[in-house]
Chain A
């Protein structure tokens, strides 16, 4: 009973924050509510017994990506644009399309009989992830570090002062 109540509260809060992100006229408010949405999603990861992923979500998404977004907003000072419209002319069609995609997704996933949570989540998830990172998944691990290096160098070069 209690996990379901907590999930409903978390889900409603996260979706409300997401709606503010996409609909707000003030870009800075969108960035702050994006941080709230990320924290709500981290709560969902805690409910799913993936504590390591929840910690990473807060560290990287809230701590780094939202900070990056706020920096970019400050460096491109267009908070309240002159026209003061946050959505373009195809917004109604986009809303209809998004609603249709949601309806199709929900209808598709309700057709399937999903398994109940009968398995037990491993208590040593972090340790297993660490072992897999240098064992079975060592190649993607090295590739992702090269990717992050390339992204770092590339974004510095793109955004530096001329």
Chain B
């Protein structure tokens, strides 16, 4: 008997929720970006697991995963550039201290 599909889905759900906690609770902007990458990886596990168990003949699952990885890389690059720019002008990467637009 192989590995049931639910195990992969539960692992992906757990990774997603760990990343969700990191996004909501961390104060450092780079820490938040790392947690977002965890959530994206959880989604990728779901995509590949569903491809393998439901439609292994098609190529849609891994193709979607490749595009998610590419978009995550682009988003990480731009996000980290923004963090560096904010650090240069405000001397902090703490998201609680970047609150000029708050009421």
Interface residue ranges, A against B (CB under 8 Å): 3-4, 7, 11, 14-15, 18-19, 21-22, 27, 30-31, 34, 37-38, 41, 44-45, 47-50, 52-53, 56-57, 60-61, 64-65, 68-69, 71-73, 75-76, 78, 81, 85-88, 90-91, 93-95, 97-99, 101-102, 105-106, 109-110, 114-117, 119-122, 125, 128-129, 132-133, 137, 140, 144, 147-148, 150-152, 154-156, 158-159, 162
Contact = CB atoms under 8 A, between A and B. Distances in A.
Interface in B1-38: 2-11, 13-22, 24-28, 30-31, 33-35, 37-38
List of 6 A-B pairs having minimum Cβ-Cβ separation, nearest first: A22-B22, A94-B24, A151-B74, A155-B81, A119-B56, A76-B87
A69 B30 contact: yes
Contacts of A91: 24-25
Contacts of A44: 8, 11, 45
Interface string B56-75: 11010111011101111111
A95 B28 contact: no
Interface of B: 2-11, 13-22, 24-28, 30-31, 33-35, 37-38, 41, 44-45, 48-49, 51-57, 59, 61-63, 65-67, 69-78, 80-85, 87-88, 92-94, 96
Contacts of A128: 59
A61 B45 contact: no
B87 A21 contact: no
23 contacts: A7-B7, A15-B11, A50-B48, A61-B41, A65-B37, A65-B72, A68-B77, A69-B76, A72-B84, A76-B84, A98-B20, A114-B4, A114-B53, A117-B2, A117-B53, A120-B56, A122-B59, A129-B63, A140-B67, A144-B67, A148-B70, A151-B78, A154-B78
- SS class, residues of chain B in contact with chain A: helix
Contacts of A37: 38, 41
